[in-house]
Amino acid sequence: MDVIATMQEHCKGLFPELLGIRFLEATPERVTASLTVREDLCTVPGVLHGGAIMALADTLGAYATMLNVGNGASTTTIESKTNFLGPATTGTTLVGECTALHRGRRTMVWQTRVTGDGGRTIAMVTQTQIVLPAHQSPQELIGSLFAGKSLAEQKALLATLERGGAALYRAWAAEESDARVRADLLAAATREEDNARVLEKS
C-alpha cells in the first residue's frame, strides 16, 4: 500500500473521513489534500465553517509530521494560527497545500495554504506540532540509560542502580512483619550490594 493509500486508510472512521478529506500528495516536505464543501459543513447556508478549514490544515500538518518521524513516535498540535482571507461556498473544492517551515527533532512548524476554485486563497494556517516519543517499556527505558556510554560509565551506572535497589530492599524489610519475608528482603539487599562492589572494583 502506498503512502497516500495508507494515510487515507488510517482516517477511516475518524474526523478527517467525516469531513471528506482526500489526500493528493504526501512527501516529508509537502502534503496536499482536497475537501469538497457540503451544506452540512457550513456555518450559514452556503458558506463553509471556518473550523472545517482549520481541521483540514490541522490534519495535513499532523500527517506531514508523521512522515518525518519514526520508531513509533507520534505528534499533537500545540499551536495554530489561521488567517481567513475569503469564503468557501457549497459545491466548491478546496485544496490544502502544507509545506514545512521548520522540521526539528522535537517540534515542527507547517504552513498550509488553502485555496478554492481558480486557485483563490481562502486561508493561510501556520501550526506547530510537538513530536511525542514512543512509549517505552520499563526494560527499554532502563536500557536507554546505558546507550552511548563507555563500558566504565555503564558499570558505574549499574553499580548505582544496584545500590539503589539494595536501599529499597532494606526499606521494605524494615516495614515487613513476617520474619521470613524480611530475611529474604535483606538477603536480596546484600546481593545487590555485593553486585555493586564487584562492578566498582572491575
User: What single string gives the DSSP state of each residue in 87-137?
Assistant: --BTT-EEEEEEEEEEE-SSEEEEEEEEE-GGG-EEEEEEEEEEEEPPP--
- What amino acid is encoded at 12 in this protein? K
Give the count of beta carbons closer than 10 Å to the beta carbon of residue 48: 27
Q: Do residues 43 and 50 make contact, with C-beta atoms less than 8 angstroms apart?
A: yes
Residue 52 confidence (pLDDT): 98
Three-class secondary structure of residue 54 per DSSP = helix
What span, in angstroms and rounded, lies between the C-alpha atoms of 178 and 201? 35
Whether 101 has a pLDDT exceeding 90, the answer reads yes
Residue 1 confidence (pLDDT): 64
Q: Give per-residue pLDDT as tens, 149-199.
A: 999 999 999 999 999 999 999 999 999 999 999 999 999 999 999 999 999
**How far from each other are the two terminal CA atoms of the chain, in whole angstroms?**
53
Determine which of 1-15, 25-39, 140-154 has the lowest per-residue pLDDT on average: 140-154
What's the pTM? 0.69
Joined grid coordinates for residue 60: 495535513
